[in-house]
Amino acid sequence: MKEPKVFIGMPTYGRPDIRALSNCQVAAGSTFLQVQRGGSAPVQTVRNLLVRSFLYKDTKDLKDPTDFTHLLFVDDDTLIPPDTIPRLLALDADIATGMTPSLHSTEKPAVHLNCAALRAEESAGEDRVWFGRPPAEPCELSACGLSCCLIKREVFEAFNGESLWFIWGERLNGTIIGEDILFTSRARELGFKIMVEPTVVCGHLKEIDIAHLIEYNGPLFDDRVEDRRE
């Protein structure tokens, strides 16, 4: 079996948070890390540029393949744990993701984990279940975000040599789907498995209105935060 060789790609606009960059460098070790600045380009274009660099030494003509086996996407406001890479590799999934908290605005703002979960008994439906708390063990997903996501080379190569892996589209009754959910959904339709490793819980750097800090304060994943369905 070929020894894994991971390429870390961080799409960013302006300057990535130094803490996010530092955590990536620690996690990378001898692994290659590329920060791709987007300028005025949309995020899907920036992700496609990173995929080109991951797959090919000649990124213009898409020739001369690299020897990288996995691409780890990390957002520029995401703090990944130092052991992220070995933990995600251990899943041996086509797409393996950690979990990244974000605020969900309801009557009372609550923290949830931004992954779309596929339950075996619900696999025939189109519903996405968003975790309120981490699952007890790794489980299969219907789709996921890319704030901390490890993807095998074969997944990108399966798109028939397509150079635009990430696009912005509409799906499911006209609901606009981001490039991350759309890509992972398409990958699953091609037969690839998406798994979440719940022990990889990332930090998520966001500005907080200190005038309402108490309103947001509380345990990160407590019993008040319920799984929600879309």
- Delimit the domains of the chain by residue range: 6-229
pLDDT at 190 over 80: yes
pLDDT digits (tens, 9 = 90+) for 142-164: 888 899 999 999 999 998 766 67
Q: What's the pLDDT score for residue 155?
A: 97
Comparing 102 with 43, the larger pLDDT belongs to: 43
pLDDT digits (tens, 9 = 90+) for 71-100: 999 998 888 998 999 999 999 999 999 988
Complete DSSP assignment for 56-125:
EEETTTTEEE----EEEEE-TTEE--TTHHHHHHHHT-SEEEEE-EEEE-SSS-EEEEEEEE--GGGTTS
Query: Domain 6-229 belongs to what architecture?
Result: Alpha-Beta Complex (3.90)
What is the residue-averaged pLDDT of the chain? 78
Q: What's the pLDDT score for residue 218?
A: 54
Q: Quick one: DSSP state of residue 179? A: H
Comparing 106 with 99, the larger pLDDT belongs to: 99
